[in-house]
Amino acid sequence: MIIKRIDPMSVAKITGIIAAVFGLIIGVLFFLFGAMFSALPGVHGNGMAMGLFGGFMGVLLLPILYGVCGFLGGLIHAWVYNVAAGWVGGVRIEVE
């Protein structure tokens, strides 16, 4: 079996979703660590509120940003693959 062409939009959608999930995981980690570190002794003023706000914004914004970048990256990768496969014939896969 030889893969001669990949639909760029299908790759872009899948990579966008995968990247958005990774962005959500990283955003949750930002939220947890932001809350944890802002509660440490020696944090002055509104440290706890700012840490929670920054983490909350990470949970909202990172999945969106990662998703958009993943979508565009997948679109570009699939397009480049199609150009390269036109030159060299594609990727050969053996299946049973």
Domain ranges across the chain: 2-92
What pLDDT does 80 receive? 94
What pLDDT does 64 receive? 92
What pLDDT does 49 receive? 57
CA distance 67 to 18: 7
**Residue 59 · residue 23 · CB < 8 Å:** no
What pLDDT does 12 receive? 94
Structural Rg of the chain based on CA atoms: 20
What pLDDT does 37 receive? 67
What pLDDT does 42 receive? 61
Low-confidence stretches of the chain (pLDDT beneath 50): none
CA distance 3 to 88: 11
CA distance 46 to 29: 20
What pLDDT does 30 receive? 81
